[in-house]
Each structure stands twice: as structure tokens, then as C-alpha cells.
Amino acid sequence: MKKTLFILALAALVLISAGCKKKKPEDIIIEAQMKIRRGDFIGARIDLKELIKKHPDDPAIPQARFFLSQCYYYENDFPQVREQLAEVYKNLGLANPMGRDSFKIILSTYRAEKNYQDGIKEAENLVKSLPPDDVFGYEINCMISDLLIDDKKTSEAVAHLENLIPIGKNHEMRLIALERLIAIHATEKNYDAAIKAYEDYNEKFGDDKIRDNLLAGQAFFYQEKGDSEKAKELFA
């Protein structure tokens, strides 16, 4: 009997010890992610806020804030999303993928709120703080056109992108702006403008690496406007 009681007492002590063992911040974040996947945004939010409060200087806190912002996003609390993500990209820097994603999500909150002008202002302020040849800054500059389009300022978006294209230092950068410009013209069925955009790019920056793609783009829009002969000529 005494032996049985001793075993039970020992088992209870083991369970108490396991329960008292503190979870690592990384484990709490993983559990919060699982709750988010299950749709338990309130539970995840409570856990992540408690983690941030208790361990504000832990290296895992930027990641905790990133997932906390997801909870707020699903709850449509966009000011809180921006508050959390601003801390993430300021802490990690924009060289970090999570830092870059954080700023992109911030811009998406302005679009969700239809608060386009504040979004444009924040994007422009960030771009000003980055070097002129910064690839991420160039991409954000291009995303300003998305906000302008949402704000029904299509002509301003077109002008913005046309000014950006020559600023890019290589095809990788310039095509981010060109593709957006072409998409605007295609949406408006302004096929002549799309063809001209390809022609202008080819004239200024065309080389053997990209010329065929530019000609194929022109051919596609000639086909769309019903000029099959010109399309065949370019496709050939």
C-alpha cells in the first residue's frame, strides 16, 4: 500500500514539474500559429500578447508580432495590424524577408480601408528613406500605382509608372513597372497604348535577353485589336 502511494505521489510530482516548466517563446509562437490555422484568432492573440508583454526583448518577438498582426487582420483591426508590423520591419530591417512582407501588408491594410492617400503617403515616406537604386524601394514605388488605381486615379498611375521605368537599373526592376503599366492598358482595352509601351521599352532598353518577349507582347495586343497579319509578322 505504501509503495503504491509513493508511486502515485512521485507521478503527481512529475506532472506538476512538467506543468510548471516554462515554454520557450518559439513554442508559444508555434502553438499560436496552429490556433490561427484552426481559426482561433482570439486564443492566438491572447497567447502572443502575453508573450510580448513578458519577453519584450526576446529575439523571437518580431515573429510573434508578425503573427499577432494576422489575428488583428482577420478581425479587421487594421490600425493594430499596422502598429505591430511597423515594429517588425523597424526591428528586422527591410533586408529581412519578414520585414519586407510586413510593409507590404501595411499597404494592403490601407487598400482594405480604402484609405488610399494615407497609404500613398506612407509608401512615399519609406521610399525617400531608401537609396535610389534599392530594389525593394522601387517595388514599393510601383505599388503606389496600385493605390492610385484603387483611388480611381488611373491617369496618375500611368504617368507614375512611365516615370519609374527609366529609373530602374536593370530589367528585373524596370519590368515590375512595365508589367503594371501593361496591365492598366489591358484592363482599359487600350491596346494601342500597350503596344506603344512595349515599343518604347524595346527602343530604350531592348536587348537579346528580352527583345523576343517584347515582340510577343506586341503581337498579342495586335491580335486583340484584330490585326492578325501584324500579329503573325511579329510572332514569326
Q: Supply the pLDDT for residue 133.
A: 83
Residues counted in the chain: 236
- Gap between the Cα atoms of 101 and 84, Å rounded: 13
Residue 185 has pLDDT above 50, yes or no: yes
Model pLDDT for residues 72-97, shown as the tens digit of each residue? 999 999 999 999 999 999 999 999 99
- pTM over 0.85? The answer is no
Model pLDDT for residues 193-235, shown as the tens digit of each residue? 999 999 999 999 988 889 999 999 999 999 999 989 999 998 8
Nearest Cα residue to 98 out of 111, 84, 119, 118: 84
- Gap between the Cα atoms of 59 and 195, Å rounded: 50
Residue 10 has pLDDT above 80, yes or no: no
Q: Supply the pLDDT for residue 21.
A: 58
Q: Supply the pLDDT for residue 17.
A: 46
Q: Supply the pLDDT for residue 236.
A: 83
- Gap between the Cα atoms of 98 and 171, Å rounded: 25
Model pLDDT for residues 37-47, shown as the tens digit of each residue? 999 999 999 99
- Gap between the Cα atoms of 93 and 95, Å rounded: 5
Q: Could you give the C-alpha distances from 121 to 94, 144, 182, in angstroms and in order? A: 18, 9, 24
- Gap between the Cα atoms of 31 and 56, Å rounded: 18
- Gap between the Cα atoms of 130 and 117, Å rounded: 20
Q: Supply the pLDDT for residue 84.
A: 97
Model pLDDT for residues 17-72, shown as the tens digit of each residue? 444 457 899 999 999 999 999 999 999 999 999 999 999 999 999 999 999 999 99
Give the relative orientation of helices 97-113 and 135-150 as an angle to the nearest 10 degrees. Answer: 10
Q: Supply the pLDDT for residue 132.
A: 80
Model pLDDT for residues 88-136, shown as the tens digit of each residue? 999 999 999 999 999 999 999 999 999 999 999 999 999 999 988 899 9
